[in-house]
């Protein structure tokens, strides 16, 4: 119960930051920590994640590939919602060319086109990426069952 209450407080604080300081680069560390909180608490905030990706556009030298990968995995877990595409549009093409992001883009394509066998085969080859976010398999299987 205490962990849920703490997570709710953090989520509320971050949502307030996003609402009132959307383009303030000083909130980057808070938003990055919130991505890690989302991973550990198995929660998700598209608005906060999009805000962070937008800030990375203005401050590319501060971009964390690990954080961006976690955001994309969380967005993939939200399928069939268009979250993955929304996030991807905010990520520079040069970053998308990194191997882990190319893999996530392929996984997204397989899911969107209903090629589930290829999706699971590719996910099995890329365990290091998808296992970084607990609950990945359950989230993907949910809409498919």
- Cis peptide bond N-terminal to 80, omega within 30: yes
Q: How far apart are CA 119 and CA 110, in angstroms?
A: 5
Q: What is the pLDDT of residues 72-107, one digit of tens each?
A: 999 999 999 999 999 999 999 999 999 999 999 999
DSSP reduced 3-state for 30: helix
Percent of the chain past pLDDT 90, that is, above it, reads: 79
Instruction: Give the E-state strand segments of the chain in sequence order.
Output: none
| Both tokens assigned to 35 | 């991505």
Residue 7's pLDDT is what?
65
Between 78 and 7, the higher pLDDT residue: 78
Q: What is the pLDDT of residues 112-144, one digit of tens each?
A: 999 999 999 999 999 999 999 999 999 998 865
Q: How far apart are CA 102 and CA 108, in angstroms?
A: 10
**Is the pLDDT score of 49 beyond 60?**
yes
| Both tokens assigned to 135 | 């609950």
> Measured at the alpha carbon of residue 65, what is the angle toward residues 116 and 29, in degrees to the nearest 5?
120
- Cis peptide bond N-terminal to 87, omega within 30: no
Domain coordinates in residue numbering, the chain:
2-144
CATH fold label, 2-144 = 1.25.40
């Amino acid at each position: 119960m205490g962990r849920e209450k703490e997570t709710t407080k953090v989520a509320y604080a971050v949502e307030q930051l996003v609402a009132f300081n959307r383009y303030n680069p000083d909130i980057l560390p808070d938003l990055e920590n919130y991505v890690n909180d989302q991973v550990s608490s198995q929660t998700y905030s598209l608005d906060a994640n999009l805000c962070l990706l937008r800030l990375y556009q203005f401050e590319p030298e501060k971009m964390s590939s690990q954080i961006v990968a976690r955001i994309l995995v969380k967005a993939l877990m939200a399928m069939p919602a268009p979250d993955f595409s929304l996030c991807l549009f905010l990520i520079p093409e040069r970053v998308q060319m990194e191997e882990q992001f190319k893999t996530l883009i392929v996984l997204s394509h397989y899911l969107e086109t209903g090629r589930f066998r290829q999706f699971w085969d590719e996910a099995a080859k890329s365990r290091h990426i998808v296992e970084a976010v607990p609950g990945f398999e359950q989230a993907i299987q949910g809409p498919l069952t």
